[in-house]
Structure 1
Amino acid sequence: MARKGGSMAGTGLGRFVRLGGLLALVALVVTACADVQEDGSPDGGATGPTADRQVPDNRDITIKIAVNPWDGSAANANVAKVLLEDELGYTVELVEIDEFAQFPALATGDLDATLEVWPSGHGKDYKKYIEAGAGVVDGGELGVIGQIGWWLPTYLLEERPELATWEGLKGNEDLFRTAESGDAGQILGGDPSFVTFDQAIADNLGLNLKVVYAGSEAAQLSALDAAYQKQEPILFYFWTPHWAHAQYDLTMVELPEVTPECEDAAVNDPDAYACGYPQDVLYKAFHDGLQAKAPSAFAFLSAMSYTNEDQNAIALEIHNGVDPAEAARTWIDAHPDVWQPWVDAGLAAE
């Protein structure tokens, strides 16, 4: 990390030179050298506000953290990795895995943590693995608030303001027809591993729409950019927080309010779902053996919490081609007030 211990220039060294005390100068140099460890940095290389103490030696313990296929997940995981390694001394392995597979992996201990679960898509997993005590524990809120929905470029509403609601889409589905969707209008999905109810929503609301998957978030965003540049119609599954909202003017289509019936359908009968997506308070989930295996890592990850704006700043850098770890370090360097309490919680559990 960029922050190291304070500089000697203009303080003790300057004062001794002005006094002409050669012996004092020699003593100062010897003292400074004695404080430097083998890696060339004070106190073993610790950084930031904790640079004046020794980093715990937890290198023999590996923490495996899930990375789901979206930039926000990579942002969370890399922030955690950098701080767990630099401040608490752990070895961290990031594991690319889709959001369905991560719960069985957490239950068996093949994963130690996932840092961004969208509850609207994982009610069944919460009941099966967390409420039933089947190897997974709730790790607390991430602090990020999510909202999934159907989105349009706002320019479409200038001539067709009715498209802002699902009722206004009815009868206008042909506007979104593509070769892939055939006789129906297209709802462009992203990664097919994402938890969605879009086809059920369209069918149950009587909308002639067909979900077509772009294959990945990146491919979906490429399609959005192409349509946006030409001011063409596009209707797509998307969410906030996401850096794209800073680049494109987008409007979420108003779908029916979430009802108790839809809450039940999301868990027990997804094909019956006929509402919009609920607002998601994103949470973390851990293997139930993590606290015993690595108590300070458990405490750190439990305390980890930041905002949509924090995550978006890192995710935008990742999207722009910055290495995820470097994007995380840039944010870490600028926000010690946010992450220092997480580290303090970890140190208290050491």
Structure 2
Amino acid sequence: MILKSGGVAAAIAVAFLSAGSLPAIAQDADAAQCGTDRTIDIAEMSWPSAAALAHIHATILEEGYGCDVEIVAGDTVPTSSSMMTRGTPAVAPELWTSAIEQPWAEAIEEGTVEQLSLAITDGTVEGWFIPQYVVDEHPELTTAEAVIARPDLFADPEEPSKGRLYSCPPGWACEISTSALFEAFGMDETWNLFSPGSGGALDASIARAFTREEPILFYYWGPTSILGKFPAVQLEIGEANQDIYACNTDPDCTEPPQVTAYPSSPAVIGAAAWVSEEAPVVADYFAKAGLTNAQISELLVYGDENQADAEETAENFLKTKQDVWTEWVPAEVAEKVLAAIG
């Protein structure tokens, strides 16, 4: 670097260096670029796409913008509730709002939270699925009612006289909606609602069935590596009724569950309102940081095939999809991130 202002500037620089003050100046500059010295905690949800996104955004904000970032464990209901009432976590990078539609809308109106953008720009899928090879052999099985009438075809290994529906893991919002729909269809006499225990266990059950070309009825959502790898058919359930769905997913609703398709759930980048107020540069970054179904599925297939965790999957995305994420940030920010990840 050439100092045009001569010896005074050089002397000041030497003084700072000798006093060990440069790191403090760098930290102040980072805080100024980030917009806040407050920790930006990002919710790492328990499903793979949201977990990978949390690490992607954390790396970009920390390395590119100099933000103080912390990744915290999260899930739809507790994360949104905490964000609405306490302003933390600061960001939920993939928040599915169908199960929290009313409180989320009220919080946006009250100004405690905001939607910065769509996390999945072309929408999500959610519902009950069976393998394509089952439909090839039984082309009539395209509706939930048709499949429910064939528990023998989807027999529970532990109770073959009944069929088995693989549900959501405990604690997930979709566990409530799937249980309600199971009850609304009156399936309890001829079917068992099976809880896999975890997302990994559900994936393993699905993969095992597809590998063996066995019939399986399961709840799932997209974009995911499972639906990217295994050809599956989403069953027709009927029209989506938001009021019925809201009651089905509300533990305090006194009405009996009714049949409704899963509404198309916006997967948004949600944030506490203080992010835009204190760090508008960060909010602007998230306003551009959406991905398509195909992009997220590709991201997840890598993680699955390479047995990579969320952090490793995120690093691979940053290294191999520079054409995608560099569009979200200024050139100087991209250079810092690239230098940090090697």
- Say whether 1:204 aligns with 2:184: yes
- Aligned match of 2:40 in 32, 41, 63? 63
Map of 1:41 onto structure 2: none
Partners of 1:66 and 1:111 within 8 A in 2: yes
Rate the CA distance shift 1:346–1:296 in 2: closer, same or farther, 3 A. Answer: farther
C-alpha displacement at 1:80, in angstroms? 0.6
C-alpha displacement at 1:266, in angstroms? 5.2
- Say whether 1:290 aligns with 2:290: no
C-alpha displacement at 1:189, in angstroms? 1.7
C-alpha displacement at 1:324, in angstroms? 2.7
Map of 1:72 onto structure 2: 49
Q: Distance in 1 between matches of 2:313 and 2:207?
A: 23
- Say whether 1:274 aligns with 2:254: no
Please tell me the residue identity of whatever aligns with 2:282: A
Please tell me the residue identity of whatever aligns with 1:62: T
Map of 2:64 onto structure 1: 87
Superposition pairs of residues 82-121 of structure 1, within 5 angstroms: 82-107=59-84, 108-121=86-99
Rate the CA distance shift 1:189–1:170 in 2: closer, same or farther, 3 A. Answer: closer
Rate the CA distance shift 1:223–1:230 in 2: closer, same or farther, 3 A. Answer: same
- Aligned match of 1:217 in 199, 215, 220? 199
Please tell me the residue identity of whatever aligns with 1:198: T
Partners of 2:152 and 2:160 within 8 A in 1: no
Please tell me the residue identity of whatever aligns with 1:160: H
C-alpha RMSD of matched pairs (Å): 3.0
Unaligned runs of 5+ in 1: 1-37, 39-43, 45-54
Superposition pairs of residues 1-350 of structure 1, within 5 angstroms: 57-58=30-31, 60-107=37-84, 108-133=86-111, 135-142=112-119, 143-178=121-156, 184-196=162-174, 197-207=177-187, 208-259=190-241, 261-262=243-244, 265=247, 269=253, 271-319=256-304, 320-344=306-330
Name the SS of the counterpart of 1:245 in structure 2.
helix
Please tell me the residue identity of whatever aligns with 1:223: S
Partners of 1:304 and 1:339 within 8 A in 2: yes
1:16-44 per-residue CA deviation (whole Å, 9 max, x = no partner) reads xxxxxxxxxxxxxxxxxxxxxx9xxxxx9
Q: How many residue pairs align between the two structures?
A: 295
Please tell me the residue identity of whatever aligns with 1:145: G
1:82-113 per-residue CA deviation (whole Å, 9 max, x = no partner) reads 11112111121111112111012212023101
Identity over aligned residues, as a percent? 25
Name the SS of the counterpart of 1:145 in structure 2.
coil
Rate the CA distance shift 1:229–1:310 in 2: closer, same or farther, 3 A. Answer: closer
1:100-128 per-residue CA deviation (whole Å, 9 max, x = no partner) reads 11012212023101011223222133134
Rate the CA distance shift 1:290–1:266 in 2: closer, same or farther, 3 A. Answer: farther
Name the SS of the counterpart of 1:233 in structure 2.
coil
Partners of 1:67 and 1:96 within 8 A in 2: yes
Please tell me the residue identity of whatever aligns with 1:163: L
Q: Distance in 2 between matches of 1:181 and 1:194?
A: 25
Partners of 1:120 and 1:266 within 8 A in 2: no
C-alpha displacement at 1:243, in angstroms? 1.2
C-alpha displacement at 1:263, in angstroms? 5.1
C-alpha displacement at 1:291, in angstroms? 2.2
Q: Distance in 2 between matches of 1:254 and 1:332?
A: 37
Name the SS of the counterpart of 2:39 in structure 1.
strand
Partners of 1:66 and 1:97 within 8 A in 2: yes
Q: Which has the larger radius of gyration?
A: 1
Partners of 1:103 and 1:129 within 8 A in 2: no
Partners of 1:304 and 1:342 within 8 A in 2: yes
Q: Distance in 2 between matches of 1:84 and 1:261?
A: 38
C-alpha displacement at 1:179, in angstroms? 5.6
TM-score (norm 2): 0.76
Q: Distance in 2 between matches of 1:265 and 1:204?
A: 12
Rate the CA distance shift 1:219–1:260 in 2: closer, same or farther, 3 A. Answer: closer
Q: Distance in 2 between matches of 1:170 and 1:316?
A: 31
Please tell me the residue identity of whatever aligns with 1:292: E
Q: Distance in 1 between matches of 2:319 and 2:245?
A: 41
Name the SS of the counterpart of 1:101 in structure 2.
helix
C-alpha displacement at 1:326, in angstroms? 3.4
1:127-164 per-residue CA deviation (whole Å, 9 max, x = no partner) reads 3432343x222222122521101011122223322222
Rate the CA distance shift 1:330–1:192 in 2: closer, same or farther, 3 A. Answer: same
Q: Distance in 2 between matches of 1:96 and 1:192?
A: 16
